[in-house]
Amino acid sequence: MASRYHDIYARWKADPEGFWAEAASALDWTKKWDKVFDAGQGVYGRWFVGGETNTCANAVDRHVAAGRGGQAAIIYDSPITGKKKTYTYAELKAEVETFAAVIADQGVAKGDRVIIYMPMVPEAAFAMLACARIGAIHSVVFGGFAARELATRIDDAKPKLIVSASCGLEPGRVVAYKPLLDEAIATASHKVEKCIVVQRDEQRCDLDAGRDVDYAEAMAATKAAGRKADPVPVAATDPLYILYTSGTTGQPKGVVRDNGGHMVALHWTMHAMYGVEPGEVFWAASDVGWVVGHSYIVYAPLLAGCTTILYEGKPVGTPDAGAFWRVIEEHKVVVLFTAPTAFRAIKQRDPEGELVGHYDLSKFRTLFLAGERADPDTIKWAEARLRVPVIDHWWQTETGWAIAGNPAGLGLLKVKYGSPAVAMPGYDIQVLDDAGHAVAPGTLGNVVVKLPLPPGSLPTLWNADSRFRSAYLDEFPGYYKTADAGLMDEDGYLFIMARTDDIINVAGHRLSTGGMEEVVAEHRDVAECAVIGIHDDMKGQIPCGFIVLKHGVARPTAEIEKEVVKLVRDRIGPVAAFKTVVTVNRLPKTRSGKILRGTMQKIADKEKWNMPATIDDPAILDEIGAMLKSRGIGV
Ligand code: COA
Ligand code: AMP
């Protein structure tokens, strides 16, 4: 089939408002918008201004009303606990309307924030949808973050309520959430009055009288009383959620997602990008704590009337590298979306992909990869074993959906390995030099998006319009800065090469090395430090810390390095995968005192590097190289 992509993109470009108004008409609105786009509102304009809707009603009730009540909405599949459970749309509605009443009873109303700190259990999705139902703004915090990260988010979002669980489960390890929750609440300046806790059989916890409510007990009582909450109409421009993502400091950015534009864009992507029809099974193997989980475990598949899978497991080890194929066969998955790192992990354990042959993947049509650059080796390995198109697509927490991709639903374009293909309708992508001039095709530069951003992309940061401007809009006036560097070829194919800031990508997880440096610097024996991302075959990148000890510190360096590793794990969380610290006598710097992190990274990754002209003392780079070699890095 010839791709309709070029026609559709041209149609969007000729009439963006008409394009998105048509996409919006597929959804239910309690009040139609006055203006599809109002350039005079918000930081750079707002979508569907004057419109009123409810995201939960569109994701759940609309399908029940249309006769899909008996269709599976969520399949919870947890190889880690051995549990599986399917919720039909009618059952999902019952859970969500009841939980919405439960949180309303706790005083949560439209506009209030609710933090959700949970493992991959269905109650996490119920909680998100219940907030949406009553117009409360949820903020999901990934379970792999430590108490201090949770506390930072509590202080920024100022939630009225936290929904959590007694524990999360990692292979071979139970993660007790309650101590983390208690510590975060104790350290945060904002006082959290109420928590609702899901008690999991795998490890229950004590509840604090007066503060904590047992999820199951509250649900049972509310159901018995026959009480439920109906969807509350909210403005299209009202926030649906805040999702914190790494910034260039330890202070995360609260990405705001609105209700109207978000549901319109996500609904559009399900058929246009992923090529999925209502009733089909779509699986995003991610976590609800990440943007992929928000968009493609919860909202998009449900908005589209698909069946979504909530998978509490890993690509390998739960129980083996055939876990993904088992889920695809058992639940008749048509599209899988995951991060390349998951495939690298599978490839490491089952290099020939023998386990693929043990399963019936006849329903499976397309594999989508995102979260980090999809390396050609991984794509080719997956193509050869799965015999389906493997599509790399590029996006960010900020955008909420793909900026560039190869749209299966519009008809696939030619695949160019190493490229996430072309700009999606809504995104006018340009590549600029540092002075803001467009570069020639094939030339590396700053990848930017011409304003306005499309529906679904962030309108601002939570309570921080000026940070939004300074972080994203000021450097290239009229454009949104993605902070990715890349190039575009003559055919409009984009190649994303690197971040232009201090963000690194560890197993598809976005982390700030600046944030890690702030923590390392807190160690009492550390005078100076630098954290860089170095290549890792499975995770893509892993952080590597360099420390210079304070004058006179005589303790063994190995002991101090261990403490620094523990400090980062305790403060940021295990997800940082911070396991390597190298003690050095001094750090390489420019004459003006800037640490040469880029050069250190090249040495560690065995890449070609040139002696920076501005370096203060070239000998230091030899010292760094020697220290890394002694650890087996960069050899
Ligand atoms: N709660 C608590 N701890 C968590 C956690 C959670 N929700 N998620 C991860 N962790 C812990 C892990 O147990 C691990 O701890 P450890 O240092 O004690 O081993 C640490 O955080 C690092 O986790 P991770 O980066 O996931 O590494 P891993 O070695 O456990 O697994 C992969 C590697 C590739 C299998 C895994 O990252 C994966 O499944 N990735 C899939 C892609 C994905 O989810 N991407 C997200 C965006 S699409
Ligand atoms: P996150 O906000 O966690 O989704 O991370 C977004 C960042 O991950 C992007 O800015 C890129 O640096 C990187 N990224 C995500 N998807 C891709 C991709 N397909 N190709 C290259 N980099 C990607």
CB 612, CB 590: distance < 8 Å: yes
Under-50 pLDDT residues of the chain: none
Distance (Å, whole) CA 137 – CA 535: 37
CB 489, CB 495: distance < 8 Å: yes
**Atom nearest to 284 CA in ligand 1:** 48
Distance (Å, whole) CA 90 – CA 286: 25
Q: Which of 243, 261, 274 is nearest to 510 (CA)?
A: 243
Cα-atom radius of gyration of the chain, to the nearest Å?
Answer: 24
CB contact set of 422 (below 8 Å; sequence gap of 6+): 5, 9, 404, 405, 406, 413, 491, 492, 493, 494
Angle, to 10 degrees, between the axis of helix 16-24 and the axis of helix 5-14?
110
Distance (Å, whole) CA 37 – CA 23: 14
> Which top CATH class is 507-630?
alpha beta
User: What amino acid occupies position 150?
Assistant: L
Q: Which of 581, 509, 531 is nearest to 249 (CA)?
A: 531
Nearest residue (by CA) to ligand 1, atom 45, is 508
pLDDT confidence of residue 247:
75
The total of other beta-carbon atoms located within 10 Å of residue 389's CB is 17
Give 189-222 pLDDT, tens digit per residue. Answer: 999 999 999 999 999 999 999 999 999 999 999 9
What does residue 234 show for φ and ψ, rounded to 5 degrees? -125, 160
User: Could you state, in order of their start, the residue ranges of all structural domains in the chain?
Assistant: 5-313+393-486, 507-630
What does residue 244 show for φ and ψ, rounded to 5 degrees? -80, 135
pLDDT confidence of residue 475:
98
**Atom nearest to 292 CA in ligand 2:** 4
- SS3 state at 582: strand
What sign does the dihedral 210-214-217-218 (CA atoms) show?
positive
Nearest residue (by CA) to ligand 2, atom 20, is 373
CB 296, CB 302: distance < 8 Å: no
Q: Which of 553, 532, 556 is nearest to 542 (CA)?
A: 532
Distance (Å, whole) CA 50 – CA 114: 25
Q: How far is CA 533 from the centre of its chain?
A: 19
Number of Cα atoms under 13 Å in the Cβ half of residue 395: 33
Q: Within 6 Å (CB) of ligand 1, which residues are found? A: 143-144, 168, 170, 175, 286-287, 290, 292, 314-316, 338-339, 341-342, 345, 371, 507-509, 574-575, 577
Nearest residue (by CA) to ligand 2, atom 15, is 371
Give 425's DSSP letter: T
Q: Within 6 Å (CB) of ligand 2, which residues are found? A: 245, 291, 370-374, 392-397, 420, 482, 484, 496, 499, 505, 510
CB 138, CB 241: distance < 8 Å: yes
* Ligand 2 centroid – CA 393 distance (Å): 9
Q: Which of 561, 539, 540 is nearest to 549 (CA)?
A: 561
Distance (Å, whole) CA 582 – CA 627: 7
Distance (Å, whole) CA 368 – CA 562: 38
The answer to whether the 5-313+393-486 and 507-630 domains have the same CATH topology is no
CB 252, CB 462: distance < 8 Å: no
Distance (Å, whole) CA 193 – CA 171: 33
Distance (Å, whole) CA 129 – CA 93: 9
Distance (Å, whole) CA 173 – CA 171: 6
Token match 């002696």: residue? 611
Distance (Å, whole) CA 79 – CA 92: 22
Nearest residue (by CA) to ligand 2, atom 7, is 396
- SS3 state at 465: helix
What does residue 162 show for φ and ψ, rounded to 5 degrees? -120, 135
Distance (Å, whole) CA 196 – CA 49: 34
Give 1's DSSP letter: -
According to CATH, the topology of domain 5-313+393-486 is Rossmann fold (3.40.50)
pTM: 0.96
* Ligand 1 centroid – CA 506 distance (Å): 9
Output the CA torsion 564→567→569→571 (10° steps). -140
Give 89-144 pLDDT, tens digit per residue. Answer: 999 999 999 999 999 999 999 999 999 999 999 999 999 999 999 999 999 999 99
**Atom nearest to 369 CA in ligand 2:** 19
Nearest residue (by CA) to ligand 2, atom 9, is 396
Structure tokens at 217: 């007990």
Q: Which of 171, 121, 63, 255 is nearest to 574 (CA)?
A: 171
DSSP readout, 135-155?
A: T-EEEE--TTS-HHHHHHHHH
Give the number of whichever ligand sits closest to the CA of residue 484.
2
CB 74, CB 58: distance < 8 Å: no
Distance (Å, whole) CA 399 – CA 446: 17
Token match 């360096």: residue? 557
Ligand 1 pocket, mutate which of 170, 538, 579 (most atoms under 8 A from CB): 170
CB 103, CB 335: distance < 8 Å: no
Run of H or E residues at 262: helix 260-272
> Which residues partner with 75 through β-bridges?
86, 309
Distance (Å, whole) CA 169 – CA 75: 18
Ligand 2 pocket, mutate which of 290, 292, 369, 396 (most atoms under 8 A from CB): 396
Give strand ranges (E) for 144-229.
Answer: 161-165, 167-170, 173-176, 194-198, 212-214
The total of other beta-carbon atoms located within 10 Å of residue 176's CB is 12
Report the first-to-last Cα separation within the chain, whole angstroms: 49
**Atom nearest to 397 CA in ligand 2:** 2
